[in-house]
Amino acid sequence: MKFTDGRQLGNCISCKTVIDQKPKEVLFGIQINDKGEVFFTMNDKAWFDKIIKSNSYGISVDLISKDRYACGRTIPVNRKIPLGNSLPGVYRNELLSRNVDLPEGGIYTKIGDLPHYLKGKEVEGNLIILNESYICYYSNFVNIDRSAWELLEMGLFTDSLISGIGNSTKKQGKNSTYSRIHQFEIPFEKASSRLDPAFLTTYLDSLRVSDARITKVGIRAYSSVEGSEKFNKELMKRRAASAVSGLKKYQPAMKNISVVSAENWIDFFKDIQDTRFSHFTGKSKPRIKEELNETAQLPEMEGILSNHRKVMVTLYTQSKSRYYSMHDTSLSTELSRAIEMKDVPKAQELQKEIALRIADNKLPISFMSKIEVPKSKLYAPLLNDREVYRYLLQGSNEQQALENFLEIRKMEPDNGKLNYNISSLRFFMWQHGDTTDVSSLPEEINKLANQGISPNLIQRMKINYFILKGEDQMSAFKYDAKDSSLQEIRKLYASTDMSDEDVFSMAKYYAHYSQMAWAKEIIQPRVTKLDVSEDLVFYYLNLLFYDPSIYSSDTFRNAMLAASNLNPKRFCDYFKPNDKGGAGMQLLEYPQIRGMYCVECNE
């Protein structure tokens, strides 16, 4: 059946009006399964009924093959819709009869099957909404991770706040904890991977790293951008190895090391601004490298490039206790004596040393429970610490830990650290479906201000409260109430200190509710920094995909370069079909994107 483009005709006015009124959170989708079956999805049946309101309205799918974007092939300039091969329309009554009932009240209904000549190929489906044979609405889709957001990490209190132990970390079974983060740069000479031992010694001594356990290390090795990519990759690998080797002189058993390497395009484009080399902006990487062969030796250019050859090191540390060298048996004896003498601060310090040894797999978790702690108000801080360690070391689950914290609180109701831990675990329980005592959370959080908990931590808890409240409102299709929660989050965010992991969580949450501009706004200040996380760079680029008007801008081009440079495979995977994990292969319709794709990804 042939369809007529009716988007400008009277047949489609009411359809367009309703779609324009649709909340951002009401989403359409087209999915193609491994059998080649093509499905239409929508997450709100009430809005489906408003749009597909009678049996004259239906759905078709325009099937686009990735063959259209083969590098070297010319894409047709005249973009008449449908662009590819459209399936026969399926109208309201049949759509409903084919619908698979979803518990959330959405629509999942089969439209048809891939033609035999498209099976086995990479294919995307574009949505066509019909009124009789007229096309009233046509859309392709850009995919973004809307659902994998997490709560802001809150940590748990022992004698101090322990971070790096968010829900995802615990689920993965990792015991890495830290109380401080140190970040510094190690410079390197041109084409050299030799590390100056004096530089590292001076810097680490100033940080007193020898007095701390290094629990995790992040290494980012950079080369300047001139020279072949192959040579630079090997050079960066050697620089990273030199940094790790230097650090291991301080802590030979150091583990949990992550390494990222990349040519330093971020600093390159930043530093050539307002210089006579600014003409490089806007050119492709191969072209820049070619021209740098002629200019790299110039003193002015070398003055720029020399600052780009470095390794950035991030150390996550825990302070060593004065009992760091004490034998295991003596630790146990000293802890018993400290409890007997009612020296709670000393007992806390000894117990922490035991917990850190368990985390390092030097002691079994059962060692923690060998010594009994009296259940009284005096020992409430020690009992609190023990319960935190048991939970983090996976000797207890969330429900058990929460019950034990509540028992300890009976001994000392106004202990701020203990109350903070109780609230933190309640958030986890709420996120996983247990809404017991959720209504009391705002009051409990507000009380923490008078119990010694910092305003920044309280702000983070308030953000998490509105995140989960918004989720409950969304599940009940209360869009206006959910919007109010989002506004509260946005106001609280403005006055809260955030790590890259926090920014990433918030950006995903905003995108979850189609607030792409908000998500882009909070990432943008970080994305030009050399130590920005890979996840933020890629998410920022994914957000930019939603605004074709900027595809010719330096901002977009630099984001593309940064992403392809940090992780080429992840960059190329963005251009897989949008229902197969990509952002969307039809982004290649745009020459600015297709040009870089064909340079970076055309095998």
Domain boundaries defined on the chain? 4-139, 178-319, 498-603
Query: At CA 564, angle to CA 558 and CA 570, rounded to 5?
Result: 135
pTM of the model: 0.84
Q: What is the rounded distance in angstroms from the CA atom of residue 600 to the CA atom of residue 571?
A: 9
pLDDT at residue number 555: 87
Residue whose pair of structure tokens reads 């990487």 in the numeric block: 285
pLDDT at residue number 313: 94
**Helix locations, 531-583, DSSP H:** 534-544, 554-566, 568-573
Contact predicate 19/127, CB 8 Å: no
Q: What is the rounded distance in angstroms from the CA atom of residue 404 to the CA atom of residue 412?
A: 13
The dihedral sign for the CA sequence 111, 113, 117, 123: positive
pLDDT at residue number 169: 39
Q: Which residues make Cβ contacts (< 8 Å) with residue 552, sequence separation at least 6? A: 592
pLDDT at residue number 147: 66
Q: What is the rounded distance in angstroms from the CA atom of residue 111 to the CA atom of residue 106?
A: 16
- Judged by DSSP in three states, 372 sits in coil
Residue whose pair of structure tokens reads 């996983």 in the numeric block: 432
The dihedral sign for the CA sequence 319, 321, 322, 325: negative
DSSP conformation letters of 122-137: -EEEEEEEEETTEEEE
pLDDT at residue number 444: 95
Mean pLDDT in each 10-residue stretch from start to end of the chain (603 residues)?
A: 84 92 91 95 94 96 94 81 93 95 84 95 96 95 80 89 53 57 92 90 81 88 93 96 91 87 91 91 86 84 94 88 91 95 96 89 88 94 94 88 95 96 94 86 95 94 95 90 95 88 92 92 90 92 95 89 90 93 94 91 74
pLDDT at residue number 1: 63
Give the closest residue to 223 by CA, choosing from 539, 565, 456.
565
Q: What is the rounded distance in angstroms from the CA atom of residue 47 to the CA atom of residue 34?
A: 28
Query: What architecture is the 178-319 domain classified under in CATH?
Result: 2-Layer Sandwich (3.30)
Q: Count CB atoms within 10 A of the CB of residue 380.
A: 21
